[in-house]
Structure 1
Amino acid sequence: MVRIQEALDTATLGSGSTSAAGQDEAMGQADFDQHLDERPHEQQASAGPSNPSVSDEVEDRLDAVNQKPEMKLVVISNRVAPFDPNKPQTGGLAAGLEPVVERSGAVWIGSSETYGGGVERPLQLVPTGAGHVARLDLPAADHPGYYRGYSNSTLWPALHSLPDRMSGSEEDYGSYRRINDFIARAAFDVRDRDAFWVHDYHLLPLGSDLHDLGIERPTGFFLHTPWLTPDMIECVPNHCELMKSMLKYDLLGFQRTGI
């Protein structure tokens, strides 16, 4: 769980500057702003023109606190946003992640919603703003069991405490795992990026599949539904294996009730 934080810490340290005595470290943004606000008005007005060295120091500190760590991120979800101004965004996931890709340079991997024969091909990265999108033709033979079966007929009702709506089969779970493995193998082409950020219940075991392939980058997961209650977990077929594979992520994020 600490691997993502270590990566962020390393990137942040690399972007700043330190002195031997440790006294010239860049202030946090809030501390620096407070420091400026507390200075007498006359001193603030006169510091720039009369003392260039003070002005230079201020500029250096601003550069340090405003510099952000660069992280080459891979985002993975079942679907990707259309990135088309003429098509409406569907759902908060698309609305939230589209600007991340366009502005930060992330790679977003998801289904093309066209289904193929399961043949593995090199990942096709399509430029989108500063980032890229890779749309996968998921295997047609396994997609019904993965999507309509285990994801939406088993996991979705369980996650919303609706046991009467649950259905599915062992074959559906097999398709679910094979699709996750297919996506993991496609993501192997971008294994050298800094971290993988996976979304939602369609891809609960993907972190385990990524690590099994030898991808050692940090992996994080966020669930966009409520988490299962203890009694509902036991209703999910193969729940023990599924939970163990989910715990292979380095960081897990869940929704919570408002405070």
Structure 2
Amino acid sequence: MVRIHDALDTATFDSSSTSGASQQDEPLGQAAFDLHMHDMPLEQEQQGGAGPSDAFASADAEDRFDSVNQKPEMKLVVISNRIAPFDPNQPQTGGLAAGLEPVVERSGAVWMGSSENRGDGSEQPLRLVKTGAGDVARLDLPEADYSGYYTGFSYSTLWPALHSLPDQMSGSTADYDSSGSDYDSYRKINEFIARAAFDLRDRDAFWVHDYHLLPLGADLHSPGIERPTGFFLHTPWPEPDMIKRVPNYRELMKSMLEYDLLGFQTNRDLNNFLACLRTYFGLDSKMVS
């Protein structure tokens, strides 16, 4: 895991970027967990290695985050694109569902995600369905934006870019309008989910999953949610030359820095992300032990 640097408050964008993000210098958000990493040049870790990447979590950070996890009856909100069926007659499809279903059922967490239905975009009170000790909240995502969000930007742009498969990406930064409809739909769906999550604003922490929801950390703050937020990416993270092929990549990375905790699958993914921060934002990080 990597704890977000408190120096992000004073870091700014390089105005020479050609991406669709704002060209004005803007401060980046401070981590709400109030755990700080001090300035130190970015060091490249060993580049292979499978398994969770813990290289940038200090003992103090881990202790304080664990203290949240160990609270009696912790009120956690899990958010992902899809939700496990919670049906013993249906097989699990994917590690996320298999891993999180028992967590929700036993811990009292709320799991939010897309339903199989589409809506008109109108906002409704969040409906919780009991499952074990926890609850499930299935959202009817807006029909008008779902295709652009799901098939368009998530699967035709982000997925191949994150897996370093440029030939499978639809369009390119050269011919992509930064206000393109797929990207707009991607952002609108994330904003819709954030507004729905506002009903859960008094719970203890928010744990967001995967590339469908890269900007959700920033969007959760917009309606006034002030709880700690964490994010885990279930795909690789590419090198700087690859991520810049994604339209609005700087805006997306900036929004990711609004999370208080970021998790990657391997040391390679973590180091690629930190290399992107250094390359495109001039941000350094500190190795802590």
Contact 1:11 1:70 in 2 (8 A): no
Confirm or deny that 1:154 pairs with 2:164: no
- Please say if residues 8 and 69 of structure 1, whose CA atoms lie closer than 8 Å, have aligned partners that are also in contact: no
Distance 2:109 2:68 in 1: 19
Partner of 1:91: 94
Amino acid at match of 1:9: S
1:106 aligns with 2:109: yes
Output one character per residue of 1:107-137: Cα deviation in whole Å (capped at 9) or x when no partner: 0000002101001000000000000000000
The counterpart of 1:195, out of the listed 195, 205, 212, is 205
What value does the CA root-mean-square deviation take over the aligned residues?
A: 1.8
Q: Tell me if the contact between 2:156 and 2:170 (Cα under 8 Å) persists in the aligned partners.
A: yes
Q: Equivalent of 2:190, from 168, 180, 188?
A: 180
Identity of paired residues, percent?
75
Q: Displacement, 1:214?
A: 1.1
Give the 4+ runs in structure 1 shifted more than 2 A. 4-12
Which amino acid counterpart does residue 218 of structure 1 have in structure 2? P
Q: Match of 1:132, SS?
A: strand
Equivalent positions of 1:201-212 (< 5 A) are 201-212=211-222
2:167 is the counterpart of 1:164? yes
Aligned AA (1:102): E
Cα distance in 2 between the residues matched to 1:96 and 1:218: 22
State the alpha-carbon separation in 2 of the partners of residues 173 and 8 from structure 1: 36
The match for 1:241 is 251
The aligned residue for residue 145 of structure 1 is: 148
Q: CA deviation at 1:75?
A: 0.1
Q: Secondary structure at the match of 2:245?
A: coil
* 1:254 match: 264
CA shift at 1:11, angstroms? 7.4
> What letter matches 1:134 in structure 2?
A
How far apart are the structure 2 equivalents of 1:257 and 1:209? 27
Deviation string 1:204-251 (CA, Å, 9 cap, x unpaired) is: 000100012111100000000011221111100000111000110000
Structure 1, unaligned runs of 5 or more: 13-67
Quote the offset at 1:9 in angstroms. Answer: 2.9
Return the alpha-carbon distance in structure 2 between the equivalents of residues 186 and 152 of structure 1: 23
Query: Does the aligned pair in 2 maintain the 1:78–1:111 contact within 8 Å?
Result: yes
Give, in angstroms, the shift of residue 257 of structure 1.
5.7
Higher helix share: 1
Q: Which amino acid aligns with 2:95?
A: G
Is the contact between residue 113 and residue 138 of structure 2 (CA under 8 Å) also seen in structure 1?
Answer: yes
Amino acid at match of 2:120: G
Q: 1:141 to 1:11 in 2, by over 3 A?
A: closer
Q: Which has the larger radius of gyration?
A: 1
Residue 9 of structure 1 pairs with residue 67 of structure 2 = yes
Write the mapping of 1:43-62 to structure 2, written as runs, cut at 5 A. none
Give me the whole-angstrom Cα distance separating, in 2, the residues matched to 1:96 and 1:11.
16
Give the letter aligned to residue 202 of structure 1: H
TM-score (structure 1 length as normaliser): 0.75
Cα drift, residue 8 of structure 1:
4.4
- 2:255 maps to a residue whose letter is S
Alignment coverage as a number of residue pairs: 203
Structure 2 alignment gaps of length 5 or more = 4-30, 35-60, 269-289
Q: TM-score, normalized by length of structure 2?
A: 0.67
